[in-house]
Structure 1
Amino acid sequence: MSHRGRVGPDHARNRAELRIFEGDPPTHRLSRKVVDCGPGHRLFLAVPRCNAPQGGWPVLYLLDGNAAFDFLTPEHLAMAPGLVLAGIGYDTDRQFARERRTMDFTAPDGPGDGIRPDPVHPGRMAGGAALFLDRLTGPLRAAAEEGLAIDPARRSLWGHSFGGLFTLYALLVRPRAFARYAAISPSIWWDEPLIRRIADAAGRMQDAPPLLMALGDREKRSGSDGPPPDGPAPATMQFAADLRDRQGLAPQLHVLEGAIHIQTIAGSLPLALPFAAA
C-alpha cells in the first residue's frame, strides 16, 4: 500500500519513497546529498531549469525535507517554475526523524540552552529551536545555496506540524531570517502557553513578513482516540486571530476541506509554492 493512503500514528514511521527522483520533472533539476552539519542532515534540491533572473531565484526552504519531497510532485513544481525548493531533512530513510525533529522544532524555555525533557513525549528531548534556527540560517543555508544564484531578499520558510510550530517561532523571534513564512498545521497544542509567551514578547511587529497558515478541518493528534473532528483546530484558529490582533500580522489563513493532519503536507503545496514565488 502506498504511504499516501495510510493515516494514524504509524505514518511517522513510513519510509520515504521519494518517487519524484524516479522521473525527470520538466521544470526543475533534482539532487540530494548528505550535509555533515549538527546531527547530520539530508538536503533535497529542486533547481529551476530556466535561467536565474538578474537578482537571483527565490527559494523555499521545506522542513522535514524527507517527507516534503516524498509528497512533492512534478505538478507541484510546475506551479512555480522559477522557484528553488530546498528540503532540509535528516539522515534517515524515513519520512520523519521523530526524536530529532522534536528537539529541533520546539522552543527553549527558561535560562541556559533551554533543552529539557519533552513534556508530551516521554523519552524525547525538546527545546532546541534556537540552536536549529542558527544551523538553518548558517551552514544548512550555505550548503543549500552553494553554487546557486539566490536572491537573499526572497527566502521563504515552510514547516508542517512541529515544523509549522518552528516556523511561527522563527517568525516571532527572528522575523528577518526569511522574507515569507508558511506555517502548516502548526502544533500549537505542544506547550501552548510557551508559544503564546513568545508571541507576547514579540509585541507589535512593524513591517512583519507575510505569513501563510493552512490546516485541515479533520485533523487530530496522531494516536488520539475518537473520530476526526469536524472543523479546524480551535487553538490554531485563535492563535492566528491573536497574531492579527496582538502582533499586527495579517496571516493568510486557509482551511483545507476534508484534510487530516498528514494530508495537509501535499494539500498546502499548491498554496505555498506560488506564495514563495511571489
Structure 2
Amino acid sequence: MHRVVALLGLLLAFPLAAQPDLTRRIGSTVADTGVTGWRFEQFRVGSRDGLRRYRVRLALPDAPAPAAGFPAVYLLDGNAALMEIDAALLATLSKAMPPPVLVFVGYDNDLRIDAEARAYDYTPQRPGGEEAQRDVPGGRRNGGADAFLDLLETVIVPKAESIVRLDPRRRTLWGHSYGGVFALHALFARPRTFAGYAAADPSLWWGDGQLLKEEDAVASWPSPPPRLWLWVGEGGERAPASAPPSSTRDPAAVEAMRRARGSVPPDAARRMAERLRRSGLDVRLETLSGQSHGQTLGSSLHRLLRALVEPPAPQASAQEQR
C-alpha cells in the first residue's frame, strides 16, 4: 500500500500540464518573415545511418565578415531555438562588433521538438551493450551522441563555414535538457571542438549520473581552456522532452525515473561547476529564479547570446550567480 501511495505521489510530481507538447509545430518564425539587417540560409544533411535528417538554418548578419570571421553559435533543438528568436533580439545582436552567426541545428520536420531523434542524438552510449541504450522515460533508443558529434564536426560545421566566414576560435555550442547532456558530453569528450559550451538545465540524472563519470575521466583541458555556461531552473526539472505523458506511465517506468533522479544529488550542477572551476575552466553558473525546466530553454538562450556580444561583467567571486 505504501509503495502504491509513493508511486502515486511521484506521478503527481509530473503533472500533465507540465509535460512538453510533443505535437507542437514550429509555425512561422523570423526565418520566414525576415528581419532587417539579417538574412537566412539553410541546408539539409542526413545521419550516417540514414535514419535521421537535419535542417540547418543560419541567421547571417548583413555586414562584411571580419578578417578572422564571425563568431558562431550552434544551437541544438534548432526548431525550438528558432521559435525563441525575435526581431528585437536580432536587432540587439546586430549592434555587436562583430555580431554572431546563429546556426540552428534542427530536424528536418515541422516539430518544435523531435523527441525520438533527440533522445538518440543527444545521449552518449552507456556501458552494457545495445540493451542498455534505452531511455528511462519512454524507452526510446539512446547512445548516438558520438555519431552526432562526428556529424557536427565533419559535416555541419564545415558546411556552415563554406557559406560564411566563421572564426573557429569563437565557436559556441548550446543545448537544453538532453541537449545540455550533449553539450557537456562534447565538452568532456572533445573539448577542442568548441571554444564555449552552454548547457541549460542539463539532465544530469541521465544514465544514472553518467556525465559525472565522464567529467571525472577528463585528464586535462586544452590551452586556452573552453568556457562553460551552466543554467539551472528553480522551478525544478519535470520530465524531459522525451518523456511520455504521465497518464501513460506504468509504475515500473515511474520507479525507474525515481532511481535515475536519485543517482545524483539535487545540487549536482552546482557541485559540478565548483569542480570544473577548480580544474581550470571559466564556468558561469546561474540559477534562473522561479523558472521551470521548460522555461529555461528560451531564457538561457537569450542570456547566452547577450553574454556573447556584451562586455563581460566582472566576477566578484566564484560563487553561483543569482
- 8 Å CA contact retained: 1:117, 1:125: yes
Q: Is the 8 A contact 1:104 1:132 kept in 2?
A: yes
Aligned equivalent of 2:313: none
Q: Does 1:253 align with 2:263?
A: no
The 10-residue stretch of structure 1 (12-21 or 196-205) with the greater mean CA deviation from structure 2: 12-21
Of residues 9, 33, 36 in structure 2, which corresponds to 1:26?
36
Partners of 1:259 and 1:30 lie apart in 2 by 31
- Aligned ranges for residues 55-134 of structure 1 at < 5 Å? 55-81=68-94, 82-110=99-127, 116-134=132-150
Residue 217 of structure 2 is matched in structure 1 by: 201
Contact kept, 8 Å, 1:217 with 1:258, in 2: the verdict is: yes
> Deviating runs (4+, > 4 A) in structure 1?
none
Q: C-alpha deviations, 1:216-265, integer Å up to 9, x for none?
A: 2113222679xxxxxxx5222222223224x3323101111221122112
| Residues 115 and 125, structure 1, Cα contact 8 Å, conserved in 2 | no
Q: Which residue number corresponds to residue 262 of structure 1?
A: 294
- With 85-94 and 68-77 compared, the bigger mean Cα shift is at 68-77
Q: Report what 1:237 is aligned to.
A: 270
Contact 2:197 2:226 (8 Å CA) reproduced: yes
In the alignment, structure 1 residue 213 sits paired with structure 2 residue 223: no
Which shows bigger deviation, 186-195 or 99-108? Answer: 186-195
TM-score normalised to structure 2 length? 0.75
Partner of 1:145: 161
The SS at the match of 2:210 is: helix
Aligned-partner Cα distance in 2 for 1:10–1:53: 40
Residues 72-131 of structure 1, C-alpha deviation per residue, up to 9 Å, x if partnerless?
11222223221100011111211111111111111112388x784324134311111111
Which residue identity is paired with 2:296? T
Distance 1:243 1:161 in 2: 19
Question: Is contact 1:45-1:87 (8 Å) kept?
Answer: yes
TM-score normalised per structure 1: 0.86
Rg: which structure is higher?
2
State the Cα distance separating 1:24 from its structure 2 match: 2.3
RMSD: 2.5
Residue aligned with 2:204, SS: coil
The residue aligned with 1:16 is 26
**Distance apart, 1:154 and its partner CA:** 1.2
Please, which runs of 5 or more residues in structure 2 have no aligned partner?
1-15, 240-244, 248-265, 311-322
Q: Provide the secondary structure at the position in 2 that maps to 1:176.
A: coil
What is the aligned length? 265
Choose from 56, 66, 72 the match for 1:53.
66
Provide closer, same or farther for how the CA distance between residues 115 and 105 of structure 1 changes in structure 2, counting only shifts above 3 A: farther
Measure how far apart 1:63 and its partner are: 0.4
5+ residue gaps in structure 1?
A: 1-5, 226-232
